[in-house]
Structure 1
Amino acid sequence: MVSASGTSLLLAVPAAVVGAASMGLASAAQARATKEVEVSRILDPGLLRGLAHRPLWLIGMVATGAGLALQLVALAFAPLLVVQPLLITSLMFAGVISARLERRPLDRVMVAGALVCVAGLAGFLVVARPSGESAGFSAATRPLPLAIVLGTVTVVALVVSVLFHHSLRVLGLAVATGVLYGVTAGLMKVVAGQARDGLAEPFQNWTLYLVCVIGPLGFLLSQNTFQQGRFLTPALAVITALDPLVGVGIGVWWMGETANASPWALAGEAVAGVVILVGIALLASRAEHLARAQSGADPDVPLNASEGTA
């Protein structure tokens, strides 16, 4: 007989994976559509107005809605520490769909880099052995330190994206997007818990309204990221890695969820983090190489616009 927790996982895991596939489709469609409109300033809502007339972008929006709904279902039945790492699989779906939309074959090195990122997150999940059934903020935790760290990282990333161009701009945008997405996921977990007490309950708490502010900001930044980057996979790897990692931090620090914190486990989690970084570095390096090849530049000479436009 399947236990209650087992039944919850049977609902949560497929919902999270299908949700990741939907988000992968959304990212690929939106990234393709952003290349068809004029480049805009960071956080300029005019970008969304221009995209609203693009059918491919609208398809991405429908996929985004489906992905978020499935993510909400998954969060209602499983801890953040289980759901969030599964979302990294959206990177694989996005890479495949993006190649099809651009009518180009899959690049083996890009695929390898994405697989390394997925393996790193999967390894983190196995070592961390997440547990907990939190449905709201824990009174025993102190939210301010993590909030300060996340806020500082977001601000610094945005400053980098404004002051620099090309690869650093894309990196800054991707980091800020990943942090905001992770925070949104954590708050959505709280909203899902509140909804168990009635559909009207979330509207009586501030969490839902904060989601309505942070979520759209993260989404607008993601469109800026897709537009600035030449290739989808490297930027999306940063976003999809940071999103679950921030979600894990929120689950532990704000909601009282637990993870294996033994010395060996911490070492294993650190190794998994390094694996993720290696995957991202591999993707970024390959993207630069492909950009040089496409532009006809010397492969041994750095390309100033390897990851974005001025």
Structure 2
Amino acid sequence: MAESWANLAVAVPAAIVGAGFMGLASAAQARATKQVPLERTLHPRLLLDLARRPLWLVGIGATVAGLGLQLVSLGFGPLILVQPLLVTALPFASVFAAWFAHRRPDGLVLLGTLVCIAGLSGFLMLARPSDGTAQLPPAGDVVLLTVVLGLVALAGLGWSWLVAGPTRVLGLALATGVLYGVSAGLMKLVADDLRAGWLATFTDWPLYVVCVIGPIGFLLSQNTFQQGQLIAPALAVITTVDPLVGVVIGVWWMGESVSTGAAVLSGELIAAVTMIAGIAMLSWRNSHPAPGQPAEQVPAPLNPAVGSPARR
């Protein structure tokens, strides 16, 4: 029991501080993507353009710090504890986005932040997530869940390609959230391998798969930030889908568990709805800026001359 509390004393602060770095990274990258020409989805040229932007490099540094702390947190805590804590990246991102725009977060942003944190705290206190097995999941479970999550990600990409208008970016955000959640599940396996010994890390497949999925998800997130008018709606989808996928992987693959029972489940549902309400407040404010707080604009094509097509 003492060891369990000691592990949580490392996992929870690491996850929250990591979420703060992720919020900084999202705000910096979202702003930087508006300063370069518009690119097609998943085209690597976007990263070459962004690499010349100092603000984007700040975001990269924050991303590395956030991922490092997430890996530490996953090494000491269950996936279904760590992933919901990453929802706090959205309030952090809202604060940093206001700072980059040289304005103060308004009252609704602060209220949404408090509601989000209150719902998250209530959920974790009631759920009392427990760790599972460090063993690799059965091949059948891997294939089945991979197919399901792959179809969800493809559905998001399909929506972004087929639907016109501002809602198309939410499809990109859905696919990004799925890839981030899968990456987190694989990072949990890598973290367990690291605690068991370095040799196991390089002989098991999760490290190599996350090295492929992770960069794809990151590039897709940059497309999401660039093609969206505002950071919060898309980031709200990413920060909701990511932990949901993580919870599914934790329970289905890794044998992690949460407290059950009618009363506990009812409380968890109320806490989850409260957290979603906080996310919705933040998204609404960023979709309806207060006076004097204009939305970010999608960047112009590479060649702004008449008749020149955008790089899409």
Partner Cα distance (2:165, 2:116) in 1? 23
1:148-187 per-position Cα deviation (integer Å, ceiling 9, x unaligned): 3322211111111111234311211111111111110010
**Within 5 Å, which residues of 2 pair with 1:121-200?**
121-139=120-138, 142-200=141-199
The answer to whether structure 1 residue 242 and structure 2 residue 241 are counterparts is: yes
Structure 1, 137-146 or 274-283: larger mean CA deviation: 137-146
1:43-84 per-residue CA deviation (whole Å, 9 max, x = no partner) reads 111111100111111111011011101110111111112211
Q: Which residue of 2 aligns with 1:99?
A: 98
Report the CA distance between 1:261 and its aligned residue. Answer: 3.0
Alignment of 1:113-128 (within 5 A): 113-128=112-127
For residue 17 of structure 1, what is the aligned residue in structure 2?
16
1:204-246 CA distances to partner (integer Å, 9 max, x unpaired)? 1211111011111111111111112222222212211221121
CA contact (8 A) 1:287 1:306 kept: no
Residue deviations 1:119-140 (CA, integer Å, cap 9, x gap): 3333332232211243233459
Structure 1 unaligned spans of 5+: 296-304
TM-score calculated relative to the size of structure 1? 0.87
Amino acid in structure 1 at the alignment position of 2:58: I
- Match in the other structure for 2:274: 275
In the other structure, the counterpart of 2:35 is 36
1:301 counterpart residue number: none
CA 253–133 in structure 1, closer or farther in 2 if over 3 Å, else same? closer
* Structure 1 match to 2:110: 111
Question: Does residue 226 of the first structure (1) align with residue 228 of the second (2)?
Answer: no
1:202 partner amino acid: T
Q: Distance in 2 between matches of 1:46 and 1:140?
A: 36
Give the whole-Å Cα distance in 1 for the aligned partners of 2:286 and 2:130.
Answer: 37
Task: Please give the alpha-carbon distance, in whole angstroms, between the structure 2 residues aligned to 1:168 and 1:306.
Answer: 16
In structure 2, relative to structure 1, the CA distance for the partners of 1:150 and 1:114 (3 Å cut) is: farther
Question: Helix, strand or coil for the counterpart of 2:177?
Answer: helix
User: RMSD across aligned C-alpha pairs, in angstroms?
Assistant: 2.6
Cα distance change, pair 287–18 in 1 and its aligned pair in 2 (3 A) = closer
Relative to 1, partners in 2 of residues 1:273 and 1:144: Cα closer, same or farther, differing over 3 Å? farther
In the TM superposition, residue 248 of structure 1 has moved relative to its aligned partner by 1.1
Is residue 120–residue 272 contact of structure 1 (8 Å, CA) maintained in 2?
yes
Q: Return 5+ residue gaps in structure 2 as ranges.
A: 300-309
Looking at structure 1, the residues matched to 291 and 44 of structure 2 have their Cα atoms a distance apart, in angstroms, of: 32
- Structure 2: how far apart are the matches of 1:145 and 1:132? 22
Q: Whole-Å Cα distance in 2 between the matches of residues 118 and 244 of structure 1?
A: 15
Q: Provide the secondary structure at the position in 2 that maps to 1:103.
A: coil
**Secondary structure of the equivalent of 1:200?**
helix
Contact preservation (8 Å) 2:16, 2:85? yes
With 93-102 and 147-156 compared, the bigger mean Cα shift is at: 147-156
| Partner Cα distance (2:36, 2:283) in 1 | 24
Give the Å deviation of 1:308: 6.2
With CA pairs under 8 Å and 6+ residues apart, which has the higher RCO, 1 or 2? 2
Count of residue pairs the alignment pairs up: 300
Please name the residue that 1:259 is paired with: 258
Give the partner amino acid of 1:196.
R
Indicate conservation of the 8 Å contact 1:136/1:189, yes or no.
Answer: no
Q: How does 1:48-127 map to 2 (within 5 A)?
A: 48-127=47-126
Question: Is the aligned partner of 1:204 residue 2:188?
Answer: no
Give the percent of matched residue pairs that are identical in Structure 1 and Structure 2.
56
The alignment partner of 2:196 has SS state of: coil
Task: Read off the aligned partner of 1:176 and give its amino acid letter.
Answer: A
What is the CA–CA distance in structure 2 between the aligned matches of 1:176 and 1:249, rounded to whole Å? 16
Contact 1:288 1:306 in 2 (8 A): no
How far is 1:33 from its partner? 0.6
- Pick which of 109-118 and 224-233 moved more: 109-118
